[in-house]
Structure formats: structure tokens, C-alpha cells
Chains A and B, each alone.
Chain A
Amino acid sequence: MKLNIEGLLVYFPYDYIYPEQYSYMLELKRTLDAKGHGVLEMPSGTGKTISLLSLIVAYQRAFPLEVTKLIYCSRTVPEIEKVVEELRKLMEFYTKETGESNNFLALALSSRKNLCIHPEILHANIVVYSYHYLLDPKIADLVSKELAKKSVVVFDEAHNIVHLTEFISNVARETDIYLANPVLPDEILQEAVPGSIRTAEHFVGFMRRFLEYLKSRLRVQHVVQESAPQFLKDVFDKVCIDRKPLRFCAERLQSLLRTLEIADIADFSAVTLISNFATLVSTYSQGFTIIIEPFEDRTPTIANPVLHFSCMDPSIAIKPVFQRFQSVVITSGTLSPLDIYPRILDFRPVTMASFTMTLARTCLCPLIVGRGNDQVALSSKFETREDFAVIRNYGNLLLEMSAIVPDGIVAFFTSYVYMENIVASWYEQGILENIQRNKLIFIETQDAAETSMALEKYQEACENGRGAILLSVARGKVSEGIDFVHHYGRAVLMFGVPYVYTQSRILKARLEYLRDQFQIRENDFLTFDAMRHAAQCVGRAIRGKTDYGLMIFADKRYARADKRGKLPRWIQEHINDGSLNLTVDEAVQLSKHFLRQMAQPFRQEDQLGLSLLTLEQLESEEMLQKITQIAHQT
């Protein structure tokens, strides 16, 4: 259909449209009009991709001087493929409707293995690739250097963007080998190498001294935490190494290796690591922390000193993107609370909006189970983890659910250790045996091959009627990448609140930094992070409006307003006051009723006029009025 969005003609390659798609495109247009950045939250499975593409392509055609390029960044290769599919459909629609073959060039770049730096990228109107191409300094320079300012950048499924710090942090161990990637400002690259390390012998001697110093630092008996400037001062005091030559270490080493014509650089990876570390620590005075741990917390008797050099500031990698490009849109199904992103990533958006799904029938059923049948409170709080009654109640919940939910159930735990402990306990109590009479049980482990096999068998069991349960972890591979559509996930159980391991020193340092720089309270950030992961996990079960599923939050803490309020709006609006602190039995009753309702026939005609619109229905006054209520501005 051809839409008119505030005067812009948009070609939309489908005959029907969801009201929220229209609302989304409206907000998007306003963001582009204002030439600013936007944060938009819309549930997955509601046609976000095609809405983005349709509107931005239409904008490009209407205002070719304002927007020269669309850079669409996604996370995984399957997602990129989906985007390309939709793009193809859109292009075909254009050709069919306008009768002329369009001269749009779209490029898709796949995994890092197939790195492509062909100059054609400069002429492309649309580029689809993974985040790394834009953010990871190793590649960004090669690929994205020439991208013009008047481009629109879209980060899809962008909820993980806060963890960009992985790109830049650097870990040095006495025993292990890692590779790092320096982010160097241009000024350093232009300056000349200082005299003290210009000759090869001097440079090698310099590196030796630095290495000895590092070794001595690693021989501490207790944990040390210091900022980069403190570290540099200490270096100067102990071994008289200045800041300036340190900055050029990485470059100097590279040129030395080139001169010696070393073929296999892998032999020198340890030295490269040290030189990169030296460069980084001397370049950035703010935003990095050094933590030296003499041993791992869990094995205090084994000496295993590690030096962590971590980036505290998530905005360092992405700030150049916000500054360089005219409009950056961050979008995902789980971005609540939206105001965290502008604060942490240090940018000012012109739009921040959250969209809900219009539903002809309510296809999700979020329930908060806070108590067992014996009224014992359920929680994954550290203090209550070993509590026999809590474990038994969790087991009972899973057992009851396995008897009433058809096909597949996915259960998420807060950590591998917790999952292992609980499952062992259940085995002893005989709960696992009872569950297995209803459904088969599969478990995710830290081994990728095992997990793939488990996933495959799980899907098979869901297909052929035996039914299965998949036990996995909230921050694991499964929760990030796999969708459990339709029968693969009829219920998702969240056992506990998935807080990240709070005793980690790096995390503590990061929280302190966020508190000092951005005035974000530690508790707020931790809760935000935990709730986002929880929403991510339960969101896996619903992909689209004909899909339906149960979302069980099994922890009494979810009922509190500060946690509930951090769930995405499209989940929150279906939690009513009656489902806040249910016992296992009550939850089972509600679930049974819900599943029966969902099993009744539901045809497209039932949706028309409500959650699915034809062009005529869209343009009626009444509908346009309703659409304005879908977007919730923050």
C-alpha cells in the first residue's frame, strides 16, 4: 500500500498494516525531520524492520540531499539476512508500483571472516552490516572511514549496546594470551616517535624494564585498584619510564616486527599485548581502571595473578558515532527504561518513545509467582538460595507447569552455578523424575556443541508431541540468540531476578564510575540491567501476533514497583493487580484458563479493524486518533 505520513509518500510492500507500525514510522519521520537521534522501543514480531526500511528509503527518495545513506547495523548474520530479505521485497514493490527500475544500491556485509573493503561501499545507498563494522576500532577504520555525515544509522536489537566496553578492555595474565585493539586518536598517529625508543636496542631495553615492572606489580598479596594516572606515576617513580614513550609502544613494536620481516606474528602476541596495554594506559587519563587480583576469588590458595585493564565508560566507543552522523536511531523490543541510554551513552535524543502491540486477543499472559503453596516466599536472593523449601517450591512450580503447558517450556536461571545446584537438589528430591513423565528435560551448558545438540533435540521433542523443557541461563547463548516461537516456547519461566555477579571488582569499579560521572545510582543500574535481561528472556516466547505464550516471573521481588516498572511497556500493560503475588496453584489455574482460550480458533478476519488494518481502515479519523495513543513519550 502507499501511505501518506505527514506529507511523505511511503511505499509499504504489504496490503495490511499494524497500527503500531504506522505510529512507529510517524515517530521515525519526526526524528529525521529534526536531524537528531532517537530511542524507540517496539516489541519484536511487529514488523519493525520493514517499517524502518520503508520509511527511511522513502525519506531518501524524497530528500536525497538530506539523507545520503542508510547504515543499518544488526547483531547476528541471521538477522542481517532477514533485513536483506525485507529490503528485496521493498525494492520489488517499488519497481512494481512505479514501473521504473530504481537505482538504489544496497550492500550487505556478512561476518568478519568475509571482510569486504571494496570501494563500492562508498556508492551504496543502503549498507547492512554488523555492529562491529562501525564500532570495533580494528575494523571500523578499514570499512566505515569514508561514510558521510548525512547518513542515518540504525542500531537494531540495540539493548546490548551498553556493554561495548568489551571492545576496548584489555586483560593481561601471566599464563594466558589475549589480543587487544587500541583506539588511538589521530594526533598520536601523526606525531613522531620519541628519541628514547627510536633505535631497536633502546626500544627492546625499554620494553624489558616495563615488563620487569609489571611482573613486580603482579606479585602483590592483596587486591589493588588504581586509575591510569596513578599507575603512570608509579611507573615513573619506580623505573623512570615516561608517559610519552609509552604511548608509542604499539606503533614502535609494529614497525620493528615489519622491519625484521617476521612472518608469524602469533609468536609475539604476548609482547604485542604488553605494548598495546602500555599505549592505552598512557593515552586515556579518564574512563579506565586497573585492577590487580592476586588470585581468583573462588580459589584463594592458588596463586593466579591477573591484571585487569577495563573501560568504565560505555560511551567512549560510541561517542564518535553520535558526533559524526546526523541521525542515529537505537531500537529494540526491550529498551525500558529508555532514559538510561542517553545518560550512559552521553547523547541527547530528540525522540524517546515506547510502543505497545495492538491485540485483537491478548496473546501474552505475564504472571508473577511470589509464593509457594506453603506460603513460603520464592526468591533467588543470595540468602535464600540454599533454603530447602524455596528449592522444593521452585521444583513444584516447574512440575505443575509441565503438566499443563503443551509442547515446549523454557526455564531461565540466574547463573550456571545456581542452575546446577538447584537441579542437583531436585534430582535428590525426586522432582526430576516426576517432571520427566510429563516432558523430557534438556539443559544448556557452557559447552557450545553440547548446547547445540540439546537445542536440536529440544526442538524435535516439541515437534513430535513428547514435549520438552529447556533449562538455561539468563545471560547465556540461548537467551541472547534463540527465538522460541509458537510451539517451541509456550511458556517461559524466569526463576529469580537475573542480577549480574555483584561481587566482581570490575563491576564495582564500573558502578562507582557511573555514579560519579552520570549520577546513576548503583542499585538503579543493577536493577535496570537485571530487568532488561529478564525481559529479553521472556520476550523470546512471543514473535508475532498469532503466537501466544505464558510469561512466569518466579520471584517475589518482581511485584515491587521499581522492578515491574522497568519491564517494557508492551509486557507491563498485561500485568494486572490480580496477578502480582500468586501462589503456584493460582498461577496454574490462570495458566490453564489462558491456554484453553488461546487454543480456540482465531482467524485473520477477527484481527481486521483492530490489530490489522487495510489502507481504508487506517485512514479513518477514528483510527488515526487511536494511533496517537500507541506511542508513549518519555
Chain B
Amino acid sequence: MGSAQGGRVRLTQSHSGRDTVPVQTEKMRHLYVVIDCSRSMEDQDLKPNRLTSTLKLMEAFVDEYFDQNPISQVGIITTKNKRAEKLTDLAGNPKKHITALMKAVDTVCVGEPSLYNSLNLAIQTLKHMPGHTSREILIILSSLTTCDPANIYELIKTLKSLKVRVSVIGLSAEVRVCTVLTRETGGSYHVILDESHFKELLMLHIKPPPASSSSECSLIRMGFPQHTIASVTDQDAKPSFSMSHLDSSSGPGLSLGGYFCPQCHATYTELPVECKVCGLTLVSAPHLARSFHHLFPLQAFIESPVENLQGDRFCQACQAELKDKSVFSCPSCHSVFCVECDLFIHESLHCCPCCIYRQTAP
């Protein structure tokens, strides 16, 4: 099966398998991405080589991830030479990660990766995350061997007890220890067929996973700071150091405006962020609105053969003639759409255009 054709089948499979009942998903995700930087990443079966290809896809991933999960955080770990180290810490700001990823293209790929050390490093931070958030690790593994200092099965038990979900994307072939690791922790394991399949598999992890029934209570305290812009002539304006520059290399700068934490008045230049002083999660309303569609997903449209249609046969969305064998209709407004539009509506729009039109029309 060629990958283009296979891709089509895969997409429609994921589409038809969608629940119509809204499933509670994790909103605040803490995800560590472990990128293999061992010798095998120099292989050129992905162009120009595996490492460059992976880093490029990761940039797109980070962008999309924060788009869909605005109040979540990501951290990046690399592993090579039997060791693991953090490329970036867990943070909610995409810019930092993307900068680091772009610089990482120059790393030398050497030695063997260490699954144990990578997982251990991630756990050190994840175990401190509150129980109502998700703890996830995504490993992009190219090598078929791992050099571990201790028994990895013990670590798998620890991961289970800490409720960390580990998923793996393999670039070469199926490795037993990954199969066991992902199965035990409730994650997924896939091996890529080619570059487009790689992208698809990576993007699967953007969608928030269903919340496990054992996560703690669901009331979360959040702050919604207003952005204040003050000028020097304002009498009340007090300059302050921005807390978000505490650990950046450019020196701390005084600024007059910014976002002030409603609880402790610490200053931040960007949202979303977790206040370093009082621990309150600071977000803005549009951020939450973006993940609305996960709470109330669009219902799957009803598929029916095109012959049953009476009257003109054209798609309500793109106005093109209906040529496919089956058509999809919205259960609430009964508008008819073609296969392509149906896919687009469910994947990107998250709302039926005809329903919206009817709502807003006078």
C-alpha cells in the first residue's frame, strides 16, 4: 500500500472512530519530548538526515501544540552518548523551545541513547506536577539499542505508580522494550513508514489525551491578568522587573507595563505562564476559548449515499458539485457536505459553517 493511499485510509479511520459524546480531556498537560541524538540519527533515509528532519517537524509540533493546548507546558530532552540532558525546561512559551530546536541542528550525533536516563531525567520534574494535570513523555527513538545503567523494568513500575504516560515514535523498527514500556504506562507506540507518516504520528500527540478517571478534582484556580500599558508620565506607574526574564541571558530589564499577577502583583511580559512567586496559573480568556472545541467536539456528520439526495447536488460549504459516492449531513441543520469539506470541518473548523451562519444571520 503506497503511503499516499495509506495516508488517506488512516485519516478516514481516525475520523470515523471519533466519539460523539464529549470525553473529558486533559487540559493542563506537562509533556516532555525526548529526542534521540545518537549515531543512528545521521542516517539519510529521512532528508537531509534524521536529526534535521525531526527538529523541523518538532518546530511545527511545538507551534501546533500550544495552539491546541494553550495552558499546557512542554520540555525537551536530548539523549546521546549514554546520557540525557535537558535542551529546554518545562515551559509554556513556544518561542524558547523553537529557538533551542533551531540551534540544535548543529549537534553532533554520537554514541548510543539511554532510555533509562532520559526517562529518569523527565521524572525528576514531572513527579512534582500536581495530580490534576497530565504527565506525559513522548520519545522519538531512532536507535535500536539503549545503554541503561539499571534495570529499566523497575523504572517502568515507577512510571506506572507516578501515572506518567509514555509514548514512543520509532524511526527504524519495533523494539521490545518500547512495546512493553508504552503498553504498561498506557501510551502508544508507532513506527514510521516515511516522512509524511512521521508527521502524522507526531501530530497525533497534539490532541489532548482522555483524562484518566483517577485524576484529582477538576476545579482549578486561575488568574486572568489585564495587560497594562503605562507611560512614564503616569503618576501611578511604577517600574518593575519582569519575572519572566529571571533566567534569561539578556539582563533583567525594567518595564512600566505588562501583566500583573492578581494575587501577588509579580510582572510578566507574556501569557500563559505559571507565576513563580505564588504558583497561580495565569492565562488570558482567548487561550481558554481555543480549547473549547475539545470540551464540546463537533458531532460526526451522518453519512448517506449520494443517490438519496433530492434536488441540486452541491456541497453547502464549497459549492462544488457532489461527485463522491457518499455525502455527509449535519444532524442539526441538515446541510450537506462533500467528503473533503467534512474532513476540513472536523479537523480545523470545529464548527458547522451553516449552523454558525444561521446563528449570526438576522
A residues whose Cβ falls under 8 Å from a Cβ of B? 403-407, 437-439, 462-467, 486-487, 490, 592, 595-601
Residues of A within 8 A of B153 (CB): 464
Given known A-B contacts A487-B176, A595-B173, A596-B193, A406 and B144 have beta carbons under 8 A apart: yes
Flag if A465 contacts B170 (CB, 8 Å): no
| CA gap between A595 and B193 in the complex, in Å | 10
Residue of B nearest to A462 (CB): B176
Query: Which one, A403, A406, A438, A467, contacts B174 given CB within 8 A?
Result: A406
Does B175 sit at the interface, judged by CB under 8 A?
yes
Flag if B146 contacts A465 (CB, 8 Å): yes
- Could you mark each residue 345-359 of chain B with 1 if its beta carbon is under 8 Å from any beta carbon of chain A, else 0? 000000000000000
Does B115 sit at the interface, judged by CB under 8 A?
yes
Flag if A600 contacts B191 (CB, 8 Å): yes
Residues of B within 8 A of A465 (CB): 115, 145-146, 148, 152, 175-178
A-B contact pairs, 14 of them (CB 8 A): A404-B173, A406-B144, A406-B174, A407-B175, A437-B112, A438-B144, A463-B176, A465-B148, A465-B175, A465-B177, A490-B173, A592-B172, A599-B173, A599-B190
Given known A-B contacts A403-B144, A467-B144, A595 and B112 have beta carbons under 8 A apart: no
| CA gap between A487 and B173 in the complex, in Å | 11
From residue A406, how far is it (CB to closest CB) to chain B in Å?
Answer: 4
Flag if A596 contacts B145 (CB, 8 Å): no
**Chain B interface, >50% SS class:** loop
Query: Which one, B112, B146, B178, B192, contacts A596 given CB within 8 A?
Result: B192
Flag if B152 contacts A464 (CB, 8 Å): yes
| CA gap between A256 and B135 in the complex, in Å | 83
Flag if B115 contacts A598 (CB, 8 Å): no
Residues of B within 8 A of A592 (CB): 45, 172-173
With A403-B40, A438-B144 given, name 20 new contacts (CB 8 A). A404-B172, A405-B144, A406-B174, A406-B175, A406-B176, A437-B112, A463-B177, A464-B148, A464-B153, A465-B115, A465-B148, A465-B152, A465-B176, A466-B146, A466-B148, A490-B173, A596-B172, A596-B191, A598-B174, A599-B170
From residue A68, how far is it (CB to closest CB) to chain B in Å?
Answer: 48
Flag if B177 contacts A599 (CB, 8 Å): no
| CA gap between A592 and B145 in the complex, in Å | 16
Query: Which one, B39, B148, B176, B190, contacts A407 given CB within 8 A?
Result: B176
Flag if B191 contacts A599 (CB, 8 Å): yes
Residue of A nearest to B181 (CB): A465
| CA gap between A596 and B1 in the complex, in Å | 13
| CA gap between A599 and B153 in the complex, in Å | 22
Residues of B within 8 A of A406 (CB): 144, 172-176
| CA gap between A162 and B99 in the complex, in Å | 70
| CA gap between A463 and B180 in the complex, in Å | 9
| CA gap between A599 and B170 in the complex, in Å | 9
Flag if B152 contacts A438 (CB, 8 Å): no
| CA gap between A464 and B180 in the complex, in Å | 10
Residues of B within 8 A of A486 (CB): 176
Question: A-B pairs with the 7 shortest C-beta distances?
Answer: A465-B177, A599-B191, A487-B176, A599-B174, A595-B173, A465-B146, A406-B173
Does B151 sit at the interface, judged by CB under 8 A?
yes
Residues of A within 8 A of B193 (CB): 596-597, 600
| CA gap between A376 and B177 in the complex, in Å | 38
Does B322 sit at the interface, judged by CB under 8 A?
no
Residues of B within 8 A of A439 (CB): 145
Does B343 sit at the interface, judged by CB under 8 A?
no
| CA gap between A466 and B40 in the complex, in Å | 15
Residues of A within 8 A of B176 (CB): 406-407, 462-463, 465, 486-487
- Could you mark each residue 177-205 of chain B with 1 if its beta carbon is under 8 Å from any beta carbon of chain A, else 0? 11000000000001111000000000000
Residues of A within 8 A of B144 (CB): 403-407, 438, 467
Residue of A nearest to B176 (CB): A487
| CA gap between A462 and B144 in the complex, in Å | 11
Does B147 sit at the interface, judged by CB under 8 A?
yes
| CA gap between A600 and B3 in the complex, in Å | 13
Flag if B147 contacts A466 (CB, 8 Å): yes
